[in-house]
Chains A and B, each alone.
Chain A
């Protein structure tokens, strides 16, 4: 499986899910097949997309660039900002690792196990996606806040940050691994078992390598979401400088103080991370698509 990933042959032309339909030979398709109406539609769509996404994001980079490199360094050198960056990145990594283990287990249980209430579990997994983030914070406060029935008082501690990030990123790995696990051929596992492979060997040599791209994709999404999280932390973490303040809160503080340039510098770093994740995901997905 891994060798298929590394040694994948490069397709001619842009690889897209259309590659699944072999009768269409990509090389002969012209570069531009827009009709006049479609061209007009594309123009209108691009104007809106530029006004909404491209120009504003460019403005962030431009505002960040006003201070040059020294602007970036000054922002990062600020102790409070640096503490926020390290807290955010370390908590995001912790949560992503937890998700890799727990998310894979949940996906496994949802696909291979069968028990009463499995359908309910399947629906609950999506709740963190659907809940507004501020409500997510309030929800977590009810069990882990001052009035916790468990006696856990995690509000306003670094634990609260871990908790909030774990909540909002729960579905990512489950939802990327689940479909791959569903389509996994049982024949290979049975063949391995009939050749005398132990259960542990089958999981390690056959199942995990096939799931690796999906786990990687889910982990990337979950990391990206974790470092950009804001809403669920507002009520839960208390935003204490040096203790529970994350990067997004820092950016917001800069905005509220009218210091748009520092806000933009920090925001552009977050944007760069988001871009890296998207590119990485694109590469993983293309390789996986080609393999099929």
Chain B
């Protein structure tokens, strides 16, 4: 291993720690500090604000459904991509990653163009049957699904490759049905990857802003999620409420990070 002189080591250490401190650690710390500048009254005030509470409930509902849909879809697609051969597989596996690089604003626009009730491709048909997508929760769930789509797949696919299919074949040759093989063999071995993916998806889903802003219409008290409330409150000069709501979102995302940091090493063994 290359020996680095002590001054260089210290210099590199200082650059790394200093950059992260000024860019991430100190600003996040300041927001936490400002949240508690009046004790816990900022938090209690925010939690008694109907707009905030409604937004938090809506956010949880949207995130829950988005994660459930992505979980089923993600595990299914991962199994298909790893365990089967079919034409177009390589294209599909490349396309799956696309949502991570698409701007949230473009995601919102794309869904709007297809599902809006006025001149969308599918929207008018759906709305004439009483199923509103844009400016309502289905659209918000779709937007959230879109942005968090690859997260579970990216976790599960490498693990499926790693464990191979020997055990599954053994189970099948001993007479296990496909369903039994999945629940008894495959799922237990990808368990941690799935949990990890779900935590990441949940954090991403709770925090989505741009795409949801466009498809939800940002209607106060109806389709406003927690992140949209942060924006609205800050721009309305209700900064304490904005800070308190942000604090809640920070707690959730850091909790997700900590959970993941504890899960990762477990998975390696």
Contacts and interface: CB of A to CB of B under 8 A. Distances in A.
Interface in A141-176: 142-144, 149, 163, 166-167, 170
B24 A251 contact: no
B183 to A, nearest CB: 14
Interface in A45-96: 45-46, 48-49, 51-57, 59-60, 63
A32 interface: yes
B113 interface: yes
Nearest to A163: B23
A230 B209 CA distance: 9
Contact of B109 (A37, A231, A251, A282): A251
Interface in A8-35: 14, 16-18, 20-21, 29-35
Contacts of B210: 133, 230-231, 248, 252
Contacts, number: 278
B131 interface: no
A284 interface: no
Contacts of A195: none
Contacts of A53: 95, 98-99, 146, 149
A126 B16 contact: no
Nearest to B1: A186
Interface in B243-260: 243, 246, 249-250, 253-254, 256-258, 260
A176 B101 CA distance: 16
B129 interface: no
B263 interface: no
Contact of A128 (B24, B90, B231, B235): B24
A135 B230 contact: yes
Given A60-B106, A105-B12, A202-B2, A133 B209 contact: yes
B267 interface: no
Contacts of B227: 132-135, 231
Interface stretch (B45-53, B73-81, B189-197): B73-81
Given A33-B84, A121-B17, A127 B106 contact: no
Interface size bracket, B side:
35 or more
A155 B87 CA distance: 51
Nearest to B111: A56
Contacts of A109: 12-13, 16-17
A31 B87 CA distance: 7
A274 to B, nearest CB: 4
Contacts of B242: 138
A231 B102 contact: no
A267 B112 CA distance: 13
A133 B25 CA distance: 16
B16 A106 contact: yes
A177 interface: no
Given A139-B28, A142-B31, A105 B15 contact: yes
Contacts of B214: 252, 255
Given A131-B250, A135-B250, 18 more contacts: A14-B90, A33-B85, A41-B76, A42-B80, A55-B122, A109-B13, A124-B25, A133-B104, A139-B31, A143-B27, A163-B23, A190-B1, A199-B5, A230-B105, A231-B227, A252-B105, A264-B109, A267-B105
Interface of A: 14, 16-18, 20-21, 29-35, 37-38, 41-42, 45-46, 48-49, 51-57, 59-60, 63, 102, 105-106, 108-110, 112-113, 115, 117, 121-128, 130-135, 138-140, 142-144, 149, 163, 166-167, 170, 186, 189-190, 193, 199, 202-203, 207, 221, 224-225, 227-231, 234-235, 247-248, 251-252, 255, 260, 263-264, 267, 270-271, 274-275, 277-279, 282
Interface of B: 1-5, 9, 12-13, 15-17, 19-20, 22-28, 30-31, 34, 69, 73, 76-77, 79-80, 82-87, 89-90, 92, 94-99, 101-115, 121-122, 142, 145-146, 149, 158, 161, 164, 178, 203, 206-210, 213-214, 226-228, 230-231, 234-235, 242-243, 246, 249-250, 253-254, 256-258, 260-261
15 contacts: A31-B86, A56-B113, A57-B98, A59-B113, A128-B24, A131-B250, A132-B208, A134-B230, A138-B243, A142-B34, A143-B26, A221-B101, A255-B112, A270-B106, A278-B98
